[in-house]
Amino acid sequence: MTQSATFIVTGMKCGGCEKNVIQKLTALEGVISAVADYKEHYVSIEFKPEIIEIDDLEDAIIAAGFGVE
């Protein structure tokens, strides 16, 4: 079973920021895919909720240096 979550993310200023956050998220066990759009200020993640929780995803975005609203 997979679930998706979309976060409003602040602090992404370019394609490099998008790549950085996608790389950090997809490195986590349980994350299937991640999409980021700095212009629209969002990150969408597809994940397996039995392996990783939404709070962990949010923590990873913050650890990458961005903000979650």
Cα gap 57→52, rounded to integer Å: 8
- Four-residue CA torsion sign, 6, 10, 11, 15: positive
Q: Is 9 helix (H, G, I), strand (E, B) or coil?
A: strand
Pick from 14, 27, 32, 54: which binds Cu ion (CB under 5 A)? Answer: 14
Place of tokens 């969002």: 42
Pick from 3, 8, 10, 13: which binds Cu ion (CB under 5 A)? Answer: 13
Do 60 and 23 touch, CB atoms closer than 8 A? no
Site for Cu ion in 15-54 (CB under 5 A): 16-17
The one segment of 8-16, 25-33, 40-48, 56-64 that binds Cu ion by CB under 5 A: 8-16
Nearer to Cu ion, 19 or 48 (CB): 19
Residues that bind Cu ion (CB under 5 A): 13-14, 16-17
